[in-house]
Amino acid sequence: MATDHVESLRHVRRQLGQLSRELPGPMGAFARLHTASQADGALPRSVKELMAMAIAIAVHCEGCITYHMSDALQAGATAEEVVEAIGVAVMMSGGPGTVYGAEALAALRQLVEAGAGERPQSGD
């Protein structure tokens, strides 16, 4: 898996946008669920996004890894926190998790280098 995670993030966002236009009811409901479940609460959004990224590793969803990695970084997760979350995901998913954990580490590096983890400015 030699994935360009910056391009993968753009691709996933484009594909989800298209799916939302063609399937507005279910995708709108899913978007509301996503927003509500990832909002700050007893757990901060960054922790919730790290959880989602770790689950993505465990279930082998490469697009999900990239998407939630970007969201975790935008929510303020540090590289050190991401790496620890990858470790938990590997522990929970065994051998296949090591492959997807390595993919998540590549996503972290590429997205940080590209500035994709920067928080959007007000009005963006």
Residue 1 has pLDDT above 60, yes or no: no
Q: Does domain 5-114 bear CATH number 3.20.20.150?
A: no
**In the chain, where are the structural domains located?**
5-114
- Give the number of residues written for the chain: 124
- Identify the CA nearest to 69 among candidates 78, 39, 35: 78
- Identify the CA nearest to 100 among candidates 67, 55, 70: 55
Residue 120 has pLDDT above 60, yes or no: no
Residue 124 has pLDDT above 90, yes or no: no
Task: Determine the pLDDT at residue 94.
Answer: 86
Which two tokens mark 19?
A: 């799916």
Q: Whole-model pTM?
A: 0.83
What pLDDT, in 10s, does the model give residues 60-110?
Answer: 999 999 999 999 999 999 999 999 999 999 999 888 888 899 999 999 999
